[in-house]
Amino acid sequence: MRRSELPHFGVLEGLRVVYSGSSIASPYGPSLMADMGADVIWIEHYKNADIQRTGTSYGYVAEQDRRNQRTISLNTYSDEGKEIFKRMIKDTDIFIEGSRGGQWERHGLGDDVLWEINPKLSIVHISGFGQYGDPEYVKRASYDPIGQAFGGLMYANSDPENHDEKVLPVMGMMADYYAAYFAAFSGLSGYIHAQKTGKGESFDISQYESIIRGMNHLNMDIWNLNRTMASFADHDRNSGTAGYNSFRCKDGQQIYMLALGGGVMKGLAKLLDVGPDVIPDGVGLLFIDGRQPDGHKMERRIIEYCAQHTAEEVEKEMNEYGIPCSRVMRFEDMLTHPHYLARESITHWETKDGTQVIGSNVVPKCKNNPGRIWRGCPNKGQDNNDILADLGYSEEEIKELNEKQIVTFKETMPVQVRKEFNGEIINPEGN
């Protein structure tokens, strides 16, 4: 697809983003920008298929994280490939790359080289351990679990009785997604700065530091208060606060509630029909870890109440009394839940072979310039010739670049999808 053929929509219309990198950390930020109307070009390795195309997700992740994008499968190791890349950068606002620290510098495409071409370019480097520091760490390879291990998140998710046993990563690729959010924020921050000053900026994002920054109080409690690490895996992962946990209901489903604040505690006392001997007047929280006042009585009463009601009943009644509470949603239930449907939180879009895939709709929702889904994940190198034409290459030059495999194309396998989504397609445009 040529640049002139791109749809016009969203708050980032006109922004041009180029990125390079596999898996999640580097693609995810650009994918959010693409959903908001940015022209996003994905530089794929000219030989190797991205692991999102070939992993156990059967292409689902690629469909969601690489939708609304154009792609060029480019040999940036060759002189011709580097020249193509430099032409792309000349008219790019944000460049995001994910690799080992210093790799693009060693590749002859460091920040100073790119700023000679485009002084206003916002550059974002994502790596496991950063672009500088202990040289032995900087050059290390990393994937999400490595970032979680070095950043302490894996320790926080370990066995609370023995933190050296049963060490597991937190599911959901948290190190990758944390880094990706910082990348999106950084890239746009650099772009805004360049509009004001005419000068670009380079951002150094490491997976492990992204984890540290997003860990809330867990690490700071240990560093500042010398507290013992509880862990996410501990039943009392709320640090000993009563009514701040998951509770099993009559129908076997669980709810999660948070009894915090004077008004909430007052509402909870009314719901449970208990007096000040269980929930003292004026308290904002109760503890179950030995601190006073003691919350064991309230905790036991909550357990009894939940055991007598379904999760739907508990959720409804608690919220009527102003108590923050939600059923622990099952993925299959999201497809028919009235709030999910009303907000069109989950939607359909077409894959490259014309089938429909189910996934997340555009986030966030914009009132005046909504994002949309206009294209699924393209084939590897699908837009090679169009991107080269946009860069000024002639038909003969493009033919030669293909013959020399400076750019490559490969038709990828179709994604395995369900044929139905609640009996209908919900707003495939994503508006």
Q: Which amino acids are annotated catalytic?
A: 176
Q: Which residues contact 372 (CB under 8 A, 6 or more apart)?
A: 7, 9, 10, 35, 37, 362, 429, 430, 431
Rounded-to-integer distance, Cα 32 and Cα 49, Å: 22
Is residue 166 within 8 A of residue 148, CB to CB? The reply is no
Task: Please provide residue 313's backbone torsions phi and psi, each rounded to the nearest 5 degrees.
Answer: -65, -45
Cis bond before residue 324 (omega within 30° of 0): no
Locate 160 and state its tokens. Answer: 């609370």
DSSP E strand stretches across 112-212: 122-127, 201-206
Give the DSSP H/E element, type plus range, for residue 247. Answer: strand 244-248
Q: How far is CA 415 from CA 14, 25, 67, 426, in A?
A: 30, 22, 13, 19
Kindly report whether the peptide bond that precedes residue 135 is cis, defined as omega within 30 degrees of 0: no
